[in-house]
A and B are shown apart, each in its own frame.
Chain A
Amino acid sequence: MFGYYFSLAIRSLRSTPIMSALMVAAIAVGVGASMTTLTLNYMMSQNALEHKDDVLYAVQLDSWGPERAVNNNSEMPWDLSYRDATALLRSNIPSRQVAMHRWGGPVSLEGSELRPYTSMIRVTTRDFFALFDIPFIYGGAWENAADESPQQLVVLSKKANEKLFNGEDSVGRSLNLNGEPFTVVGVIEHWNPSPKVYDLNNGHFDNSEEMYVPFGLHRQLKIQSWGNTNGWKSENIAGYEDFLNSHNVWIQYWVELESAQQKEDYENFLTTYIQSQKAEGHYPRPLKFGLTRPSEWLVVNEVLTDDNRILAWLSLAFLLVCVINAVALLLAKFLRKAPEAGVRRALGASRSAIFSQHLMESGCIGLFGGIAGILLTLGGLSGIRILLMGYLDQVATMNWTMMLAAIGLAILASLLAGLYPAWRISRTTPSVYLKTQ
């Protein structure tokens, strides 16, 4: 029966090519518009740390001043000060913990043709790789000691290793970073989560850094953050040491807490820490800290903007208009074929048979509309990549899930559009049409 209805549907569509094309176009444009925005929103809401969502937490401390507002959702600064970060690092409660920030500097290689270039660098503690589950191709992370005393070691991304050492095992080799020699200790696999959930400070969809250096280097290299540094307090900062001891916030902090007990212990630790700080005259606001899972971190950092949501609503309304349009056209078309349906009814076809046959026809329109809609979506996404000048290159792409979703949405929309017209035509009284024959 299915195959027969399908061939009937195709025949019927071919008999009125212009009207069929109009309906396919309506569905395709509607699906194209909504899938473009839905794909963007879906890709922008991805959580690269999903698999560790119940053990990872972003740490926030409310070290801000009472009179100075923090203009974000969490009402706490996103980052920690160096003094707080180093104090928290002394805790042995979390299974793993990372204090880090973005940095950058000129890179060159002795005796190489390569022109010096500026590389983005992450200054981090060694747990970074294990906490975020990043596998190594060669070597491994530095030893714990490097996070406290200066050791000029570097872990390269796969891309940087290809650029500098042609992808060979570069462990033990040396490169020049910011005017200093650094020794390669490891090379990691390609790792570029988008959105950049581990650091949403500057550009949610920026690429991951190409080099990673130990946290113990700050004083030796007088490292400043290549990201936001926010202060709220007037402090007498006369040199780098004063900067490190200041209340300026610029360090991202993550912990891995594997059990409820561990989390409770850590909460107690943070409470005690803040109380001790209050005793010294710091932390003037009421005691508050934040431990936020990656999925919630993406929400409070507003990775998905209001513009994205408005566009999603608009495009769904657009799809609705296209569906209503298709209802009107299908109705017109089916009613014109009413005599044919009348004859079939008279020859013994049941109402449900007529109904299924016509619904099949609208389903076919949906199928073709969906395929055309995927093409339009791909066009729409590449348009958006051009308009956003590379800002969203990583997320403005369609995967198989979204392609299947596009076909599904198109068929659903067209079946919905076909329901009423198919029902109307199935109620045809055969006698009316037999008379006129």
Chain B
Amino acid sequence: MLEIRPILSALWRSKIAALLIALQLALTLAIVSNASIIVGERQDKVARPTGMPVEDIITVMFQPMSQNYDIPAAVVADRDLMRSIPGVIEVTHSNHIPLSGSGSSSSYYNKPNQETGGEGANYFQVGPEFLQALGMKLVAGRNFEPSEVQQVGLNDRLDANVVIVTKQFADALYPDGNALGNAIYTNRSSHPIEIIGIVERNLGSWVNWSKAGNAAFFPQMLVIDGTLFMRYLVRTEPGQRDAVFKQLEEKLSQRDPQRVIELKTLEEQKDRQYSRDNTMVKVLIAVMALLTFIIALGIVGLTTFWINQRRKQIGVRRALGATRAAIGRYFLLENGMIAGTGIALGMAASQIANHFIVSNYSQPTLPLPLMLICATILLCVSLAAALLPALRAANISPATATRSI
């Protein structure tokens, strides 16, 4: 036996309070469902593979104190020194650090002498050891020969002869899959740069770039006029990073104290790049949790109040033969009806809010299943919040009905 009619008439008498609860649930559903879609999208973004064993890599930047500093010789000496440290797998020099937010990009073409229709890629000038040092997987072709490495100044227009690219970039330039052995060209240039290898993936310098994952590696060493600096990427055996970090710092400054040395872990740089996304995820999760908690408290408070108001009525019903289960069911049903109304309103509100967010702030659209999941969870929370006062109501003894008379 369901007491829908008496519940409705009872609710009608305190319709404002019931409406307030329904309204809260509606707004909460609108907030939670829209927040969860943003959380999901950001989590997917942060979880993208980088193509590197990020937690095993240390980055080094050095700046000599004098203008007449022999950088190429220092690179050889530093590399040999760093390789001799136990736990170090491989070292490469590089003009930029992947995932650091700082890098260079250029447009590349699959035909010579083009000006428009190129594909942007993040480019790196690295040593022949970079595949090992970055822990990347070669899926086609070969690695650089040491003899292929060129020395270039920042303003030298010295195009490389060979390049290794990511699969994503190879497929963008050569959609038919015949990139290996073909050439890429820079803007308006007829100089072919042969693709000799393709690596599985590398996310590149900028995680927020629309073309992140387009990357090209040239066998070059950048020796800059004026402002001098050089960067290294050091890969260690798993678990050895922190031990190697301390030794690197010490040995590098020992070998040549007349320079500034800056060491960072690649992990820290990656976290920094994603800090906005991670913040958004954590703040939104906190908002969702707090909100659910607040409305649950509100429902407990209000249901308790209603039950206290109706103690006598409950006692009379019990005295007339209503079971405890029937009393409990009455309040749960009442709550379910209020919550159901609120959630129905909330679904409409969610869609309206999502429409606003999509059109103003270019965020993803809200899929129906996700909204239904949020609605179900919210309904369960509401019923659970009503359960405790309902159980207490069921325990009201029939004697209450007679006591106050």
Please list the residues of chain A having a beta carbon within 8 angstroms of any beta carbon in chain B.
19, 22, 25-26, 29-30, 33, 67, 103-106, 108, 116-118, 176, 178-180, 221-224, 226, 234, 236-240, 242-243, 305-307, 309-311, 314-315, 317-318, 320-322, 324-325, 327-329, 331-333, 335-336, 383-384, 387-389, 391, 420
Cα(A33)–Cα(B294), bound, Å:
13
Which of B212-220, B272-280, B311-319, B391-399 participates in binding chain A?
Answer: B272-280
Q: Smallest Cβ distance from A107 to chain B, in angstroms?
A: 9
Contact B17 A306 (CB under 8 A): no
The residues of B that contact A104 with a CB separation of less than 8 Å are: 227
B4 at the interface (CB under 8 A from A): no
- 26 of the cross-chain contacts (CB-CB < 8 Å) are A29-B294, A30-B294, A33-B290, A103-B227, A117-B260, A222-B225, A222-B227, A224-B226, A224-B227, A234-B187, A239-B155, A240-B226, A243-B154, A306-B361, A307-B280, A310-B38, A310-B363, A314-B31, A314-B34, A317-B27, A317-B31, A317-B353, A324-B27, A325-B20, A331-B20, A389-B275
Q: Does B248 contact A (CB under 8 A)?
A: no
List the A residue with the shortest CB-CB distance to B272.
A389
A106 touches B64 (CB 8 A): yes
- Residue on A with the closest CB to B30? A317
**For residue A336, which residues in chain B have a CB less than 8 angstroms away from its CB?**
305, 308-309
Asked whether B65 is an interface residue with its Cβ less than 8 Å from the other chain, the reply is: yes
The reply on B387 being an interface residue by CB < 8 A is: no
Q: How far is the CB of A275 from chain B (nearest CB, A)?
A: 25
Whether B24 lies near A325 (C-beta < 8 A) is yes
Contact B291 A328 (CB under 8 A): no
Extra inter-chain contacts (16) besides given A243-B154, A391-B272, CB under 8 Å: A33-B290, A116-B258, A179-B64, A222-B226, A224-B227, A237-B155, A240-B155, A307-B280, A310-B361, A310-B363, A317-B353, A324-B27, A325-B298, A327-B20, A387-B283, A391-B275
Q: Are A328 and B20 in contact (CB under 8 A)?
A: yes
Interface of B is mostly: helix
Judged by DSSP, the binding face of A is helix
Q: Are B291 and A321 in contact, with the CB atoms below 8 A?
A: yes
A67 partner residues in chain B, CB cutoff 8 A: 115-116
Given A222-B226, A238-B155, A336-B305: A180 in contact with B67 (beta carbons within 8 A): yes
CB closest chain-B residue, reference A224: B227
Contact present for A384 and B279 (CB under 8 Å): yes
User: Given the complex of chains A and B, what is the CA–CA distance between A45 and B186 in angstroms?
Assistant: 41
Nearest A residue to B282, CB-CB: A387
Shortest A376–chain B CB gap in Å is 10
Note all chain A residues with C-beta closer than 8 A to B92: none
Indicate the size class of the contact surface on chain B. 35 or more
- A204 to B: closest C-beta gap in Å: 12
A328 touches B287 (CB 8 A): no
Q: Which residues of B contact A116 (CB under 8 A)?
A: 65, 258-260
Of chain B, the residue at the smallest CB distance from A71 is: B210
Q: Which residue of A lies closest to B298 (CB)?
A: A325
> How long is the Cα–Cα vector from A25 to B295 in the complex, in angstroms?
12
Determine the chain B residues whose CB is within 8 A of the CB of A307 once the complex forms.
276, 280
Complex-state Cα separation, A305 to B298, whole angstroms: 34
Q: Does B297 contact A (CB under 8 A)?
A: yes
Q: Counting CB contacts under 8 A, is B28 at the interface?
A: yes
Q: Which residue of B lies closest to A226 (CB)?
A: B227
Contact of A108 among B65, B187, B308 (CB under 8 A): B65
Of A224, A309, A310, A328, the contact of B17 (CB 8 Å cutoff): A328
Closest to A305 in B: B276
Please name all residues of chain A whose beta carbon is closer than 8 Å to the beta carbon of B363 when the two chains form the complex.
Answer: 306, 310
B63 touches A105 (CB 8 A): yes
A306 contact set on B, CB distance < 8 A: 360-363
Instruction: For residue A332, give the distance in angstroms from its CB to the closest CB of chain B.
Output: 4
CB distance from A19 to the nearest CB of B (A): 6
> How far apart sit A307 and B301, CA to CA, in the bound complex (Å)?
34
Which residue from chain B places its CB closest to the CB of A309 in the assembled complex? Answer: B361
- Across-interface contacts of B280 in A (CB, < 8 A): 307, 311
A332 touches B259 (CB 8 A): no
Residue from B31, B353, B360 within 8 A of A318 (CB atoms): B31
What distance in Å separates the Cβ of B21 from its nearest Cβ neighbour in chain A? 6
